[in-house]
Structure 1
Amino acid sequence: MTMSVALDKTNKLISIEHAERGLACDCFCFECGEPVLAKKGEKNEHHFAHISNKESCFINPESILHKFAKQVIIEANGLLLPALPNSQETEAKLWQFSQITPEVRLGNIQPDLMVMVDKDTYFIEIAVTSFVDEFKLERIKTFGTPTIELDLRELLKSETAIPSDEAKNFILNQLEHKRWLYPIAQVQEEAVNIVSTTSASTICPNQSINEQAATMPSESSGKSYQSYLFTIHGMWIDVKAFESGMLAVKSVSYNHEIKEMLKAWSREGRGRFSDQYKTWNYFKPFSATVLERLIALDETPKQ
Protein backbone atom coordinates (compact mmCIF):
# COMPACT_ATOMS: atom_id res chain seq x y z
CA MET A 1 0.00 0.00 0.00
CA THR A 2 1.48 3.35 -1.04
CA MET A 3 1.64 6.31 1.34
CA SER A 4 0.08 9.39 -0.20
CA VAL A 5 0.05 11.50 2.97
CA ALA A 6 2.82 12.46 5.40
CA LEU A 7 3.60 15.05 8.06
CA ASP A 8 5.70 18.11 7.23
CA LYS A 9 8.30 19.59 9.56
CA THR A 10 5.58 21.59 11.36
CA ASN A 11 3.63 18.36 12.05
CA LYS A 12 0.89 19.25 9.57
CA LEU A 13 -0.59 16.85 7.02
CA ILE A 14 0.72 17.19 3.49
CA SER A 15 -0.33 15.26 0.39
CA ILE A 16 2.19 13.86 -2.06
CA GLU A 17 0.90 16.29 -4.70
CA HIS A 18 2.02 19.29 -2.63
CA ALA A 19 5.34 17.88 -1.40
CA GLU A 20 8.68 18.76 -2.94
CA ARG A 21 10.42 15.88 -4.70
CA GLY A 22 12.84 13.65 -2.81
CA LEU A 23 14.43 14.57 0.51
CA ALA A 24 13.58 18.22 -0.08
CA CYS A 25 10.07 17.53 1.19
CA ASP A 26 11.47 17.31 4.74
CA CYS A 27 8.60 15.03 5.78
CA PHE A 28 7.89 12.24 8.24
CA CYS A 29 5.74 9.12 8.20
CA PHE A 30 2.29 9.78 9.64
CA GLU A 31 2.23 6.39 11.35
CA CYS A 32 5.74 5.68 12.67
CA GLY A 33 7.39 9.11 12.54
CA GLU A 34 10.41 7.99 10.48
CA PRO A 35 11.79 10.38 7.84
CA VAL A 36 10.34 9.86 4.37
CA LEU A 37 11.11 11.12 0.88
CA ALA A 38 8.67 12.06 -1.85
CA LYS A 39 8.92 9.76 -4.88
CA LYS A 40 7.51 11.66 -7.85
CA GLY A 41 8.86 9.90 -10.91
CA GLU A 42 7.56 9.58 -14.44
CA LYS A 43 6.33 5.96 -14.33
CA ASN A 44 5.10 4.89 -10.89
CA GLU A 45 2.35 6.39 -8.77
CA HIS A 46 3.66 9.27 -6.70
CA HIS A 47 4.08 8.33 -3.04
CA PHE A 48 6.10 8.77 0.12
CA ALA A 49 8.68 6.14 1.09
CA HIS A 50 10.75 5.57 4.22
CA ILE A 51 14.35 6.67 3.87
CA SER A 52 15.29 3.46 5.67
CA ASN A 53 13.68 1.48 2.80
CA LYS A 54 11.36 -0.37 5.16
CA GLU A 55 7.90 -1.31 3.89
CA SER A 56 5.20 1.34 3.74
CA CYS A 57 3.17 1.75 6.92
CA PHE A 58 -0.59 1.27 6.87
CA ILE A 59 -2.14 4.66 7.50
CA ASN A 60 -5.66 4.58 8.93
CA PRO A 61 -7.95 6.97 6.97
CA GLU A 62 -9.94 7.69 10.14
CA SER A 63 -6.80 8.89 11.91
CA ILE A 64 -5.85 11.14 9.00
CA LEU A 65 -9.30 12.74 8.88
CA HIS A 66 -9.39 13.22 12.65
CA LYS A 67 -6.02 14.99 12.66
CA PHE A 68 -6.89 17.06 9.57
CA ALA A 69 -10.11 18.31 11.17
CA LYS A 70 -8.23 19.50 14.26
CA GLN A 71 -5.56 21.04 12.03
CA VAL A 72 -7.94 23.14 9.91
CA ILE A 73 -9.94 24.37 12.92
CA ILE A 74 -6.74 25.45 14.67
CA GLU A 75 -5.46 27.16 11.52
CA ALA A 76 -8.78 28.95 10.89
CA ASN A 77 -9.13 29.80 14.59
CA GLY A 78 -12.87 29.32 14.25
CA LEU A 79 -15.70 27.68 12.32
CA LEU A 80 -19.36 28.04 11.40
CA LEU A 81 -21.61 26.62 14.14
CA PRO A 82 -25.37 26.31 14.69
CA ALA A 83 -26.95 28.51 17.35
CA LEU A 84 -26.21 27.45 20.92
CA PRO A 85 -29.35 25.80 22.38
CA ASN A 86 -31.38 27.76 24.94
CA SER A 87 -29.49 30.98 24.16
CA GLN A 88 -30.66 34.24 22.64
CA GLU A 89 -29.01 33.25 19.35
CA THR A 90 -31.33 31.76 16.72
CA GLU A 91 -29.11 31.62 13.63
CA ALA A 92 -25.87 29.87 12.75
CA LYS A 93 -22.82 32.10 12.80
CA LEU A 94 -19.03 32.07 12.44
CA TRP A 95 -17.44 31.53 15.84
CA GLN A 96 -13.99 33.07 16.29
CA PHE A 97 -11.89 31.54 19.08
CA SER A 98 -9.54 33.51 21.29
CA GLN A 99 -7.72 30.34 22.31
CA ILE A 100 -7.61 26.67 21.16
CA THR A 101 -6.03 23.83 23.14
CA PRO A 102 -5.98 20.33 21.60
CA GLU A 103 -6.27 17.08 23.58
CA VAL A 104 -6.11 18.65 27.02
CA ARG A 105 -6.93 16.28 29.90
CA LEU A 106 -9.36 17.71 32.44
CA GLY A 107 -9.78 15.15 35.18
CA ASN A 108 -11.56 12.17 33.60
CA ILE A 109 -12.32 13.88 30.29
CA GLN A 110 -10.16 14.81 27.29
CA PRO A 111 -11.99 16.77 24.57
CA ASP A 112 -10.47 16.86 21.09
CA LEU A 113 -10.34 20.66 21.29
CA MET A 114 -10.99 23.06 24.13
CA VAL A 115 -11.71 26.55 22.80
CA MET A 116 -12.27 29.94 24.35
CA VAL A 117 -14.64 32.64 23.12
CA ASP A 118 -13.93 35.73 25.21
CA LYS A 119 -13.93 34.22 28.71
CA ASP A 120 -16.27 31.30 27.94
CA THR A 121 -15.01 27.72 27.43
CA TYR A 122 -16.39 25.22 24.90
CA PHE A 123 -15.49 21.65 23.92
CA ILE A 124 -15.30 20.39 20.32
CA GLU A 125 -15.53 16.64 19.71
CA ILE A 126 -14.52 15.31 16.27
CA ALA A 127 -16.29 12.06 15.43
CA VAL A 128 -15.22 9.85 12.52
CA THR A 129 -15.97 6.32 13.71
CA SER A 130 -16.00 6.87 17.48
CA PHE A 131 -18.72 9.07 18.95
CA VAL A 132 -19.43 10.54 22.37
CA ASP A 133 -21.27 7.87 24.36
CA GLU A 134 -23.68 8.37 27.25
CA PHE A 135 -20.91 7.98 29.84
CA LYS A 136 -18.72 10.71 28.34
CA LEU A 137 -21.79 12.90 27.87
CA GLU A 138 -22.55 12.59 31.58
CA ARG A 139 -19.00 13.74 32.37
CA ILE A 140 -19.45 16.68 29.98
CA LYS A 141 -22.67 17.62 31.78
CA THR A 142 -20.82 17.45 35.10
CA PHE A 143 -18.33 20.01 33.79
CA GLY A 144 -21.22 22.12 32.49
CA THR A 145 -19.22 23.00 29.37
CA PRO A 146 -21.15 23.52 26.10
CA THR A 147 -19.99 20.84 23.66
CA ILE A 148 -20.38 20.52 19.88
CA GLU A 149 -19.80 17.28 17.96
CA LEU A 150 -18.66 17.19 14.32
CA ASP A 151 -19.86 14.02 12.58
CA LEU A 152 -17.40 13.42 9.72
CA ARG A 153 -18.62 9.97 8.62
CA GLU A 154 -19.95 11.39 5.35
CA LEU A 155 -16.55 12.87 4.53
CA LEU A 156 -14.83 9.56 5.30
CA LYS A 157 -17.20 7.62 3.00
CA SER A 158 -16.86 10.11 0.14
CA GLU A 159 -14.05 10.25 -2.40
CA THR A 160 -12.91 13.63 -1.09
CA ALA A 161 -9.13 13.80 -0.75
CA ILE A 162 -7.68 14.34 2.72
CA PRO A 163 -6.12 16.87 3.02
CA SER A 164 -7.86 19.11 0.46
CA ASP A 165 -9.61 22.47 0.23
CA GLU A 166 -12.90 20.65 -0.37
CA ALA A 167 -12.57 18.72 2.89
CA LYS A 168 -11.49 21.90 4.69
CA ASN A 169 -14.60 23.73 3.46
CA PHE A 170 -16.85 20.86 4.59
CA ILE A 171 -15.36 20.86 8.09
CA LEU A 172 -15.38 24.63 8.60
CA ASN A 173 -18.37 25.92 6.67
CA GLN A 174 -21.02 23.20 6.45
CA LEU A 175 -23.63 22.81 9.20
CA GLU A 176 -25.39 19.52 8.57
CA HIS A 177 -22.76 17.45 10.37
CA LYS A 178 -22.60 19.61 13.51
CA ARG A 179 -24.79 19.20 16.59
CA TRP A 180 -24.68 20.47 20.13
CA LEU A 181 -24.37 17.60 22.60
CA TYR A 182 -24.71 19.94 25.56
CA PRO A 183 -26.72 21.86 26.48
CA ILE A 184 -29.75 20.00 25.14
CA ALA A 185 -32.40 22.23 23.61
CA GLN A 186 -35.40 22.55 25.91
CA VAL A 187 -37.77 20.87 23.43
CA GLN A 188 -35.37 17.93 23.08
CA GLU A 189 -34.91 17.66 26.83
CA GLU A 190 -38.65 17.43 27.41
CA ALA A 191 -38.94 14.66 24.81
CA VAL A 192 -36.00 12.69 26.19
CA ASN A 193 -37.42 12.89 29.69
CA ILE A 194 -40.37 10.80 28.57
CA VAL A 195 -38.12 7.76 28.26
CA SER A 196 -35.37 8.69 30.73
CA THR A 197 -37.68 9.57 33.65
CA THR A 198 -40.40 7.14 34.75
CA SER A 199 -42.96 7.48 37.54
CA ALA A 200 -42.23 5.26 40.53
CA SER A 201 -45.89 4.28 40.61
CA THR A 202 -45.62 2.91 37.07
CA ILE A 203 -42.36 0.94 37.11
CA CYS A 204 -39.87 -0.48 39.52
CA PRO A 205 -36.53 1.43 39.30
CA ASN A 206 -34.68 -1.87 38.74
CA GLN A 207 -37.04 -3.22 36.08
CA SER A 208 -35.17 -5.62 33.80
CA ILE A 209 -34.94 -5.51 30.02
CA ASN A 210 -37.31 -8.49 29.80
CA GLU A 211 -39.82 -6.71 32.03
CA GLN A 212 -39.56 -3.55 29.92
CA ALA A 213 -40.09 -5.54 26.73
CA ALA A 214 -43.12 -7.28 28.20
CA THR A 215 -44.91 -3.93 28.57
CA MET A 216 -45.10 -3.37 24.81
CA PRO A 217 -48.87 -3.33 24.11
CA SER A 218 -50.88 -4.35 21.13
CA GLU A 219 -52.51 -1.54 19.20
CA SER A 220 -55.80 -2.16 21.06
CA SER A 221 -54.44 -2.67 24.58
CA GLY A 222 -54.99 0.93 25.59
CA LYS A 223 -51.63 1.22 27.39
CA SER A 224 -50.12 4.67 27.12
CA TYR A 225 -47.08 5.65 25.09
CA GLN A 226 -45.82 8.80 23.42
CA SER A 227 -45.56 8.74 19.62
CA TYR A 228 -43.06 10.59 17.43
CA LEU A 229 -42.57 10.77 13.69
CA PHE A 230 -39.13 11.77 12.43
CA THR A 231 -37.76 12.23 8.90
CA ILE A 232 -34.25 10.85 8.41
CA HIS A 233 -32.60 10.52 4.97
CA GLY A 234 -36.01 11.35 3.48
CA MET A 235 -37.66 8.37 5.23
CA TRP A 236 -40.33 8.43 7.95
CA ILE A 237 -39.26 6.91 11.25
CA ASP A 238 -42.09 5.94 13.60
CA VAL A 239 -41.16 5.97 17.30
CA LYS A 240 -43.11 4.93 20.40
CA ALA A 241 -41.79 5.78 23.88
CA PHE A 242 -43.40 3.51 26.49
CA GLU A 243 -43.95 4.14 30.19
CA SER A 244 -41.50 1.33 30.95
CA GLY A 245 -38.70 3.36 29.37
CA MET A 246 -38.54 1.15 26.27
CA LEU A 247 -38.32 2.85 22.87
CA ALA A 248 -39.71 1.11 19.76
CA VAL A 249 -38.33 2.44 16.46
CA LYS A 250 -39.59 1.48 13.00
CA SER A 251 -38.72 2.73 9.53
CA VAL A 252 -42.04 3.14 7.71
CA SER A 253 -40.38 2.15 4.41
CA TYR A 254 -37.29 0.00 3.96
CA ASN A 255 -33.98 1.85 3.79
CA HIS A 256 -30.73 -0.09 4.05
CA GLU A 257 -28.71 2.73 5.63
CA ILE A 258 -31.35 3.34 8.31
CA LYS A 259 -31.63 -0.40 8.99
CA GLU A 260 -27.86 -0.66 9.50
CA MET A 261 -27.88 2.40 11.76
CA LEU A 262 -30.65 1.01 13.97
CA LYS A 263 -28.95 -2.39 14.04
CA ALA A 264 -25.65 -0.81 15.11
CA TRP A 265 -27.42 1.07 17.92
CA SER A 266 -29.04 -2.19 18.97
CA ARG A 267 -25.64 -3.85 19.28
CA GLU A 268 -24.27 -0.83 21.12
CA GLY A 269 -27.05 -0.71 23.71
CA ARG A 270 -28.17 -4.37 23.87
CA GLY A 271 -31.41 -3.72 22.00
CA ARG A 272 -33.62 -6.25 20.26
CA PHE A 273 -35.51 -6.58 16.98
CA SER A 274 -39.18 -7.54 17.27
CA ASP A 275 -40.29 -9.85 14.47
CA GLN A 276 -43.89 -9.35 15.56
CA TYR A 277 -43.90 -5.55 15.35
CA LYS A 278 -40.94 -5.10 12.96
CA THR A 279 -39.42 -2.60 15.36
CA TRP A 280 -35.99 -2.09 16.88
CA ASN A 281 -36.51 -1.93 20.64
CA TYR A 282 -34.15 -0.12 22.99
CA PHE A 283 -34.23 -0.17 26.77
CA LYS A 284 -33.33 2.11 29.68
CA PRO A 285 -30.97 3.81 30.06
CA PHE A 286 -29.82 3.56 26.41
CA SER A 287 -33.31 4.37 25.04
CA ALA A 288 -32.85 8.01 26.06
CA THR A 289 -29.63 8.17 24.01
CA VAL A 290 -31.41 6.72 20.96
CA LEU A 291 -34.16 9.32 21.21
CA GLU A 292 -31.59 12.11 21.48
CA ARG A 293 -29.88 10.83 18.34
CA LEU A 294 -33.16 10.62 16.41
CA ILE A 295 -34.05 14.18 17.40
CA ALA A 296 -30.62 15.39 16.25
CA LEU A 297 -30.94 13.59 12.90
CA ASP A 298 -34.53 14.70 12.25
CA GLU A 299 -34.95 16.53 8.92
CA THR A 300 -38.60 17.45 9.40
CA PRO A 301 -39.08 21.12 8.42
CA LYS A 302 -39.60 23.26 11.54
CA GLN A 303 -42.68 25.44 11.59
Structure 2
Amino acid sequence: MVAKKGDEREHHFAHESNKIACVVNHETVLHQFAKRVIQESGGLLVPFVKYHDASHPLNLNGLKPSWLILDNIDLEKPLGGVIPDLIGYSANTPVIIEVAYSSFVGYEKQGKLNDLGIWTLEIDLREFHQENFNPRDVQEAIINDVEIKKWLVSHEILIDKIESYAEEIITIDGIWVSLRELPFGDLAIKVVAYNPKVNAIVKAIAKRYYGRWRQDYKNWIVDKRWLQHAKNDLKAAANSSC
Protein backbone atom coordinates (compact mmCIF):
# COMPACT_ATOMS: atom_id res chain seq x y z
CA MET A 1 0.00 0.00 0.00
CA VAL A 2 1.33 3.48 -0.92
CA ALA A 3 0.57 6.36 1.44
CA LYS A 4 -1.28 9.24 -0.12
CA LYS A 5 0.51 12.59 -0.34
CA GLY A 6 -2.24 14.11 1.72
CA ASP A 7 -1.51 11.63 4.48
CA GLU A 8 2.22 12.40 4.22
CA ARG A 9 1.55 16.12 4.41
CA GLU A 10 -0.73 15.65 7.41
CA HIS A 11 1.92 13.50 9.12
CA HIS A 12 4.58 16.15 8.39
CA PHE A 13 2.46 18.97 9.84
CA ALA A 14 1.60 16.85 12.88
CA HIS A 15 5.30 16.13 13.42
CA GLU A 16 6.25 19.81 13.08
CA SER A 17 3.42 20.82 15.41
CA ASN A 18 4.66 18.37 18.02
CA LYS A 19 8.19 19.79 17.71
CA ILE A 20 6.90 23.34 18.19
CA ALA A 21 4.78 22.25 21.15
CA CYS A 22 7.84 20.63 22.76
CA VAL A 23 9.91 23.80 22.30
CA VAL A 24 7.15 26.01 23.72
CA ASN A 25 6.62 23.66 26.66
CA HIS A 26 10.36 23.49 27.39
CA GLU A 27 10.65 27.28 27.22
CA THR A 28 7.74 27.64 29.65
CA VAL A 29 9.33 25.18 32.08
CA LEU A 30 12.73 26.90 31.73
CA HIS A 31 11.16 30.32 32.41
CA GLN A 32 9.37 29.07 35.51
CA PHE A 33 12.51 27.34 36.77
CA ALA A 34 14.68 30.44 36.23
CA LYS A 35 12.20 32.69 37.99
CA ARG A 36 12.05 30.37 40.98
CA VAL A 37 15.86 30.17 41.16
CA ILE A 38 16.19 33.96 41.20
CA GLN A 39 13.41 34.37 43.75
CA GLU A 40 14.89 31.78 46.09
CA SER A 41 18.51 32.94 45.73
CA GLY A 42 17.62 36.58 46.45
CA GLY A 43 20.24 37.76 43.98
CA LEU A 44 22.68 36.86 41.23
CA LEU A 45 26.07 37.73 39.77
CA VAL A 46 25.78 40.43 37.09
CA PRO A 47 28.15 42.07 34.57
CA PHE A 48 30.07 45.14 35.71
CA VAL A 49 28.93 48.62 34.76
CA LYS A 50 31.64 51.17 34.08
CA TYR A 51 29.65 54.36 34.64
CA HIS A 52 26.76 55.06 36.97
CA ASP A 53 23.97 57.58 36.95
CA ALA A 54 23.91 58.93 40.50
CA SER A 55 20.13 59.28 40.37
CA HIS A 56 19.72 55.55 39.63
CA PRO A 57 22.41 53.93 41.81
CA LEU A 58 23.22 50.25 42.01
CA ASN A 59 26.01 48.91 44.17
CA LEU A 60 27.98 47.48 41.24
CA ASN A 61 31.71 47.20 40.68
CA GLY A 62 33.04 49.16 37.71
CA LEU A 63 35.75 46.64 36.85
CA LYS A 64 34.45 43.16 37.61
CA PRO A 65 31.14 41.28 38.03
CA SER A 66 29.15 42.07 41.17
CA TRP A 67 26.64 40.24 43.32
CA LEU A 68 23.29 42.00 42.97
CA ILE A 69 20.99 41.56 45.97
CA LEU A 70 17.29 41.68 45.08
CA ASP A 71 14.32 42.05 47.42
CA ASN A 72 10.55 41.98 46.87
CA ILE A 73 10.76 40.10 43.57
CA ASP A 74 7.51 40.14 41.58
CA LEU A 75 6.70 37.91 38.61
CA GLU A 76 5.15 39.26 35.39
CA LYS A 77 3.94 42.51 36.92
CA PRO A 78 2.58 44.90 34.23
CA LEU A 79 4.72 48.01 34.03
CA GLY A 80 4.51 50.86 31.55
CA GLY A 81 3.26 48.84 28.61
CA VAL A 82 5.50 45.82 29.21
CA ILE A 83 5.20 42.71 31.35
CA PRO A 84 8.72 41.85 32.55
CA ASP A 85 9.52 38.29 33.62
CA LEU A 86 10.68 39.59 36.99
CA ILE A 87 11.15 42.89 38.74
CA GLY A 88 12.96 43.23 42.04
CA TYR A 89 14.58 45.95 44.11
CA SER A 90 18.19 46.47 45.07
CA ALA A 91 17.86 48.86 48.01
CA ASN A 92 15.31 51.26 46.48
CA THR A 93 16.39 50.83 42.86
CA PRO A 94 14.13 48.68 40.64
CA VAL A 95 15.72 46.06 38.39
CA ILE A 96 13.92 44.18 35.60
CA ILE A 97 15.09 40.70 34.61
CA GLU A 98 14.14 39.11 31.29
CA VAL A 99 14.69 35.37 30.81
CA ALA A 100 15.25 34.34 27.17
CA TYR A 101 15.40 30.95 25.45
CA SER A 102 14.04 31.26 21.91
CA SER A 103 12.39 34.67 22.20
CA PHE A 104 14.58 37.66 23.04
CA VAL A 105 13.75 41.31 23.66
CA GLY A 106 13.03 42.94 20.30
CA TYR A 107 13.16 46.54 19.07
CA GLU A 108 9.66 47.47 20.19
CA LYS A 109 10.04 46.13 23.72
CA GLN A 110 13.56 47.57 23.95
CA GLY A 111 12.12 50.98 23.14
CA LYS A 112 9.53 50.64 25.90
CA LEU A 113 12.22 49.53 28.36
CA ASN A 114 14.35 52.53 27.37
CA ASP A 115 11.37 54.80 27.99
CA LEU A 116 10.89 53.26 31.44
CA GLY A 117 14.53 53.96 32.25
CA ILE A 118 14.72 51.01 34.65
CA TRP A 119 17.83 48.84 34.90
CA THR A 120 17.08 45.74 32.78
CA LEU A 121 19.09 42.52 32.63
CA GLU A 122 18.58 39.78 30.03
CA ILE A 123 19.61 36.18 30.78
CA ASP A 124 20.31 34.04 27.71
CA LEU A 125 19.41 30.38 28.32
CA ARG A 126 19.38 29.23 24.68
CA GLU A 127 22.15 26.65 25.28
CA PHE A 128 20.01 24.67 27.72
CA HIS A 129 17.99 22.52 25.35
CA GLN A 130 15.45 19.99 26.49
CA GLU A 131 17.90 17.17 25.68
CA ASN A 132 20.66 18.49 27.96
CA PHE A 133 18.54 20.10 30.68
CA ASN A 134 20.25 19.61 34.03
CA PRO A 135 18.64 21.62 36.86
CA ARG A 136 21.93 22.06 38.75
CA ASP A 137 23.77 23.32 35.66
CA VAL A 138 20.97 25.73 34.80
CA GLN A 139 20.77 26.98 38.39
CA GLU A 140 24.54 27.54 38.48
CA ALA A 141 24.42 29.45 35.20
CA ILE A 142 21.50 31.64 36.24
CA ILE A 143 23.16 32.63 39.49
CA ASN A 144 26.88 32.78 38.68
CA ASP A 145 27.51 32.91 34.91
CA VAL A 146 27.87 36.50 33.70
CA GLU A 147 28.66 35.42 30.13
CA ILE A 148 24.98 34.65 29.52
CA LYS A 149 23.81 38.00 30.92
CA LYS A 150 23.77 41.48 29.46
CA TRP A 151 22.35 44.83 30.50
CA LEU A 152 19.63 45.98 28.11
CA VAL A 153 19.13 49.20 30.06
CA SER A 154 21.85 50.53 32.35
CA HIS A 155 22.65 54.01 33.54
CA GLU A 156 26.32 54.20 32.55
CA ILE A 157 26.29 57.97 32.43
CA LEU A 158 28.21 60.19 34.81
CA ILE A 159 29.01 62.90 32.34
CA ASP A 160 30.52 65.18 34.97
CA LYS A 161 33.18 62.51 35.64
CA ILE A 162 34.00 61.81 32.02
CA GLU A 163 37.19 63.62 31.02
CA SER A 164 36.87 63.63 27.25
CA TYR A 165 34.67 62.44 24.41
CA ALA A 166 34.27 63.18 20.71
CA GLU A 167 31.97 66.09 19.89
CA GLU A 168 30.59 67.28 16.58
CA ILE A 169 28.49 70.39 16.00
CA ILE A 170 25.88 70.52 13.24
CA THR A 171 23.47 73.33 12.40
CA ILE A 172 19.74 72.86 11.85
CA ASP A 173 17.82 76.02 10.85
CA GLY A 174 20.68 78.12 12.18
CA ILE A 175 20.64 76.41 15.60
CA TRP A 176 23.66 74.46 16.87
CA VAL A 177 23.10 70.82 17.76
CA SER A 178 25.83 69.01 19.69
CA LEU A 179 26.55 65.33 18.91
CA ARG A 180 28.76 63.76 21.57
CA GLU A 181 29.97 60.18 21.35
CA LEU A 182 30.34 58.96 24.92
CA PRO A 183 33.24 56.65 25.95
CA PHE A 184 30.98 53.62 26.24
CA GLY A 185 29.63 54.18 22.72
CA ASP A 186 26.27 55.93 23.17
CA LEU A 187 25.38 59.22 21.48
CA ALA A 188 24.40 62.34 23.45
CA ILE A 189 22.36 64.85 21.40
CA LYS A 190 21.75 68.38 22.67
CA VAL A 191 20.15 71.45 21.09
CA VAL A 192 22.50 74.20 22.27
CA ALA A 193 19.95 77.05 22.12
CA TYR A 194 16.24 76.33 22.61
CA ASN A 195 14.20 76.42 19.42
CA PRO A 196 10.76 74.72 19.24
CA LYS A 197 11.14 73.59 15.62
CA VAL A 198 14.68 72.23 16.01
CA ASN A 199 13.82 70.63 19.34
CA ALA A 200 10.92 68.80 17.67
CA ILE A 201 13.16 67.57 14.83
CA VAL A 202 15.82 66.30 17.24
CA LYS A 203 13.22 64.67 19.49
CA ALA A 204 11.61 62.83 16.57
CA ILE A 205 14.96 61.46 15.37
CA ALA A 206 16.09 60.48 18.88
CA LYS A 207 12.85 58.64 19.61
CA ARG A 208 13.03 56.93 16.21
CA TYR A 209 16.09 55.15 17.61
CA TYR A 210 14.70 54.56 21.11
CA GLY A 211 16.51 57.54 22.60
CA ARG A 212 15.85 58.49 26.22
CA TRP A 213 15.58 62.07 27.49
CA ARG A 214 17.97 63.18 30.23
CA GLN A 215 16.25 66.00 32.08
CA ASP A 216 19.29 66.76 34.25
CA TYR A 217 21.55 67.33 31.21
CA LYS A 218 18.80 68.46 28.79
CA ASN A 219 19.94 65.98 26.15
CA TRP A 220 18.92 62.79 24.38
CA ILE A 221 20.90 59.55 24.75
CA VAL A 222 20.80 57.10 21.84
CA ASP A 223 22.17 53.59 22.28
CA LYS A 224 25.45 52.88 20.46
CA ARG A 225 23.66 50.34 18.24
CA TRP A 226 21.78 53.21 16.59
CA LEU A 227 24.51 55.88 16.81
CA GLN A 228 25.38 56.04 13.11
CA HIS A 229 21.73 55.89 12.00
CA ALA A 230 20.82 58.77 14.32
CA LYS A 231 23.84 60.80 13.18
CA ASN A 232 22.97 60.26 9.53
CA ASP A 233 19.37 61.39 10.05
CA LEU A 234 20.44 64.46 12.02
CA LYS A 235 22.97 65.44 9.35
CA ALA A 236 20.32 64.93 6.66
CA ALA A 237 18.05 67.29 8.61
CA ALA A 238 20.90 69.80 8.82
CA ASN A 239 21.56 69.61 5.06
CA SER A 240 17.88 70.02 4.19
CA SER A 241 17.67 73.18 6.29
CA CYS A 242 20.55 74.89 4.48
What's the TM-score bracket when you normalise by the shorter of the two chains? 0.5 to 0.7
1:166 aligns with 2:131: no
Match of 2:150 among 164, 179, 183: 179
Q: Structure 1 158/81 Cα, relative in aligned 2: closer, same or farther at 3 Å?
A: farther
Structure 1 residues 195 and 107: CA distance shift in structure 2, 3 A = closer
* Equivalent residue number for residue 120 of structure 1: 93
Tell me if the contact between 1:126 and 1:150 (Cα under 8 Å) persists in the aligned partners.
Answer: yes
Corresponding letter in the other structure for 1:194: Q
Secondary structure at the counterpart of residue 61 of structure 1 = helix
Q: Which has the larger helix fraction?
A: 2
- TM-score, reference length from structure 2: 0.54
Whole-Å Cα distance in 2 between the matches of residues 196 and 113 of structure 1?
Answer: 31
Contact kept? 1:124, 1:147, Cα under 8 Å: yes
Residue 89 of structure 1 corresponds to which residue in structure 2?
Answer: 61
The secondary structure found in structure 2 opposite 1:198 is helix
Deviations 1:210-260 (A, max 9, x none): xxxxxxxxxxxxxxxxxxxxxxxxxxxxxxxxxxxxxxxxxxxxxxxxxxx
4+ runs deviating over 6 angstroms: none
Structure 2: unaligned runs, 5 residues or longer: 1-20, 53-59, 157-181, 188-223
Give 5+ residue unaligned stretches, structure 1. Answer: 1-56, 206-303
Query: CA–CA distance in 1 between the matches of 2:235 and 2:117?
Result: 32
Aligned to 2:186: 189
Matched, 1:198 2:171: no
**Correspondence for 1:70:** 35
Q: Provide the secondary structure at the position in 2 that maps to 1:140.
A: helix
Question: Are the equivalent residues in 1 in contact too, given 2:125–2:148 (CA < 8 A)?
Answer: yes
- Percent of aligned pairs with the same residue? 28
Which residue identity is paired with 1:172?
Answer: I
- Is the partner of 2:35 in helix, strand or coil? helix
Q: CA 1:102–1:201 in structure 2 vs 1: closer, same or farther (change >3 Å)?
A: closer
Find the counterpart in structure 2 of residue 102 from structure 1.
Answer: 75
TM-score, structure 1 as length reference: 0.44
Residue in 1 that maps onto 2:124: 151
> How many pairs does the alignment contain?
147
Q: Deviations over 1:73-120 (max 9, x none)?
A: 001011111123522731211111122111000131111100101111
1:153 CA drift (Å): 0.5
Q: How much has 1:63 moved relative to structure 2?
A: 1.1
Alignment partner of 1:141 out of 114, 121, 137: 114
Distance, in Å, in 2 between the alignment partners of 1:196 and 1:128 is: 30
Mapping of residues 205-220 of structure 1, within 5 Å: none
Instruction: Give the equivalent residue in structure 2 for 1:213.
Output: none
Q: Secondary structure at the match of 1:66?
A: helix
